[in-house]
Amino acid sequence: MRCEKFLYIVRHCEPAGQEPSAPLTERGKRQAKALCAFLARFDVERIVSSPFVRALESIQPLGARLGIGVETDSRLVERTLSTVPIPDWRERLRESFQDLDLVIGGGESSRAAMERARSAVADVLDHPAHRTVVVTHGNLMALMLKTFDASIGFEQWERLTYPDVYSVTVSEMHSAVERIWA
């Protein structure tokens, strides 16, 4: 990478559930239209999304408006905190931001999820596009942002909204993370 690149990291709009096939709610569909209007002003050249239905439905209006296809990348799916129900999942999630190697109930550690996200982002940065929208899910989004800014953690995850957008400016010398969704 020889020049500055801009990533717009997006958390999907309000879903009807957490399973991969869960669509957006009616409110989520309205949010997707607002998200489209918001992101259209950034001269986006490329869109890469989690293949989960809620992520695709969140960003397809932007792709249609800009006349660009939405690419999917399975590395952008949500992190699996646990494969078994855990009643205190919020506290366990907090712990997973403090201990990046913590594995809960057969789930994915924060470090493993960060590596998966880092790999997807590296491919985005290697692409010739200068402005790319990357659509993912709340926990993975926070961990992805943490790869650029180590101070990001559970508290930032807690404040995420449906949808949410962070801008990440990346150059050879530095990166800068900023929440741009109000």
172 against 166, higher pLDDT:
166
The residues with which 176 forms a beta bridge, in sequence order, are 169
pLDDT score of 172: 87
- Omega into 163 within 30° of 0, i.e. cis? yes
User: Tens digits of per-residue pLDDT, 72-116?
Assistant: 999 999 999 999 999 999 999 999 999 999 999 999 999 999 999
pLDDT score of 53: 98
pLDDT score of 2: 56
Give the structural domain span for 28. Answer: 5-179
Burial of 22 (0-12, 13-18, 19+ CB in 10 A): middle
Burial of 35 (0-12, 13-18, 19+ CB in 10 A): buried
What is the total count of domains within the chain? 1
Q: What is the CATH number of the domain that holds 55?
A: 3.40.50.1240
pLDDT score of 20: 97
Count helices and strands in the chain by DSSP H and E runs: 6, 6
Q: Compute the half-sphere exposure of residue 160: CA atoms within 13 Å on the CB side of its CA.
A: 26
User: Tens digits of per-residue pLDDT, 43-66?
Assistant: 999 999 999 999 999 999 999 999
**CA–CA separation, 150 and 156 (whole Å):** 12
